[in-house]
Amino acid sequence: MSSSEILLVDDALFETHASRSNHPERPARLDAARVGVARAGVRVRPLPARDATRLELEAAHLPGYLDSLERLRGESAMLDPDTYVVPRSVEAAVRAAGGVAELATALVRREAKRGMALVRPPGHHAEPDRAMGFCLLNNIAVGARAALAAGAKRVAIVDFDVHHGNGTQSIFYGDAEVLFVSLHQWPFYPWTGAVTETGRGAGVGFTVNVPLGAGADDVVYREAMRRIVRPAVRDFRPEIVLMSAGFDAFVNDPLASMMVTDAGFGGIVGGLVEEAEHAGAPIALVLEGGYDLRGLEACVAASARALIDGAIAGPVLAKIDPAHRAELQTAASSAARTWRSVG
């Protein structure tokens, strides 16, 4: 097992999920991510993707929804104003979920310490009972359940896509085996992810939301990582860390209003690598959003390097505006009720 290489999941089938209209979630995103990995200059070891089994999918989704999705094989349709299927979309989604499950299982079995899944369609908006927000199946939730099935007792999911991972939150909201932490623009689509959403039943405290107003930059995200995200992950002591890696908080992304740079994303990933190392846990990045192609390429490159090198030099500390500082304080106060290192 080596920390100097990345176990990489990719598949040509992911390119077949392609809208006939000018849709932002398009195959060119995958091309940009692939170029980013190549630019990073890191050593990769391919891990063939496979189709998720019905049992694996039912660990995250209701049988009735899976049946309705199966009936869409070979069809073209709009499932909501944002989410499309074309004839091979369901096939690609099942392969994407299976690829993440295979990667998570390999990491739990200590076949590698670092992983990356370049999958499409993305997954974190997919609810147990419906598609949503470009997503058909919740890839990272299927992967987390596979990690638990492979023997992990605690799985941390950190979602830094600019949109809240509502589907992932829903799937694990009552679960104490999975820590779900989300950094996201707020208020914003999908209109979930308030700081008061912390879990239910046995899962109270195991959902940590860090909603941030428009304009948050590298310095704000770095402070969020330092004060909230990293301490919560550290206290949780995960046996595997999975990242829902959306790069649409990038400064030039057309679908959001954040100001994070590629170096900022490298800092986020590098910080989580340090926490994974501290816990003796493997770590993997699962592609979600990111719709500026040049930005996506640069952000994936920085993240791949950070997976190998750990924390990178962040921005010079600067003042955080009062609105963002208040948001961080509110989120920290909420998380500190469960995680003593947060503050």
Instruction: Please compute the mean of the pLDDT values over residues 202-216 and round it to a whole number.
Output: 98
pLDDT digits (tens, 9 = 90+) for 20-43: 999 999 999 999 999 999 999 999
Task: Report if residue 317 sits inside a domain.
Answer: yes
Instruction: Please compute the mean of the pLDDT values over residues 81-92 and round it to a whole number.
Output: 98
Which CATH number does the domain housing residue 300 bear? Answer: 3.40.800.20
Task: Report if residue 167 sits inside a domain.
Answer: yes
- Which band of pLDDT confidence, cut at 50, 70 and 90, is reported for residue 2? low
Task: Report if residue 342 sits inside a domain.
Answer: no
- How many residues appear in the chain? 343
- Other beta carbons within 10 angstroms of residue 157's beta carbon come to 28
Packing angle between helix 293-309 and helix 27-40, nearest 10 degrees?
40
- Residue 94 contacts residue 57 (beta carbons within 8 Å): yes
Share of the chain above pLDDT 90, in %: 95
Instruction: Please compute the mean of the pLDDT values over residues 74-95 and round it to a whole number.
Output: 97
Sequence-ordered strand ranges (E) for 66-206: 77-78, 84-85, 114-117, 155-159, 178-185
- Which band of pLDDT confidence, cut at 50, 70 and 90, is reported for residue 319? confident
* Count of alpha carbons within 13 angstroms of residue 214, beta-carbon side: 7
- Residue 154 contacts residue 238 (beta carbons within 8 Å): yes
Catalytic hit among 125, 164, 184, 324: 125
- Residue 300 contacts residue 29 (beta carbons within 8 Å): no
pLDDT digits (tens, 9 = 90+) for 119-135: 999 999 999 999 999 99
- Other beta carbons within 10 angstroms of residue 262's beta carbon come to 22
Instruction: Please compute the mean of the pLDDT values over residues 240-252 and round it to a whole number.
Output: 98
Residue among 220, 238, 288, 272 nearest 33 (CA)? 288
Locate 133 and state its tokens. 């927000």
Is the per-residue pLDDT at 315 higher than 60? Answer: no
- Which band of pLDDT confidence, cut at 50, 70 and 90, is reported for residue 318? confident
- Residue 103 contacts residue 118 (beta carbons within 8 Å): no
pLDDT at 66: 98
- Residue 151 contacts residue 108 (beta carbons within 8 Å): yes
pLDDT at 147: 99
Rounded CA separation 127/121 (Å): 14
Give residue 30's identity as a one-letter amino acid code: L
**Which range marks the domain in which residue 15 is found?**
5-335
Is the per-residue pLDDT at 70 higher than 70? Answer: yes
Locate 147 and state its tokens. 């990690």
Task: Report if residue 55 sits inside a domain.
Answer: yes
Q: Bigger pLDDT: 2 or 117? A: 117
pLDDT at 43: 97
- Which band of pLDDT confidence, cut at 50, 70 and 90, is reported for residue 316? low
Active site residue 124: no
Rounded CA separation 127/119 (Å): 18
For tokens 């996506």, name the residue: 296
Is the per-residue pLDDT at 332 higher than 70? Answer: yes
**Residue 277 contacts by C-beta under 8 Å, 6 or more apart in sequence?**
3, 310
Element (H, E) at 45: strand 43-46
Is the per-residue pLDDT at 312 higher than 90? Answer: no
Element (H, E) at 35: helix 27-40
pTM value is: 0.97
Locate 122 and state its tokens. 């993305």
Q: For the chain, first and last CA: distance in Å?
A: 35
Task: Report if residue 45 sits inside a domain.
Answer: yes
Is the per-residue pLDDT at 304 higher than 60? Answer: yes
Give residue 110's identity as a one-letter amino acid code: R
Task: Report if residue 341 sits inside a domain.
Answer: no
Mean pLDDT, the chain, whole residue set: 97
Report the domain count for the chain.
1
Q: Calculate the CA dihedral of residues 90, 96, 102, 106 and round it to 10 degrees.
A: -170
- Which band of pLDDT confidence, cut at 50, 70 and 90, is reported for residue 317? low
Instruction: Please compute the mean of the pLDDT values over residues 53-76 and round it to a whole number.
Output: 98
Radius of gyration of the chain (CA): 18
Task: Report if residue 111 sits inside a domain.
Answer: yes
Task: Report if residue 221 sits inside a domain.
Answer: yes
Locate 235 and state its tokens. 């206290």
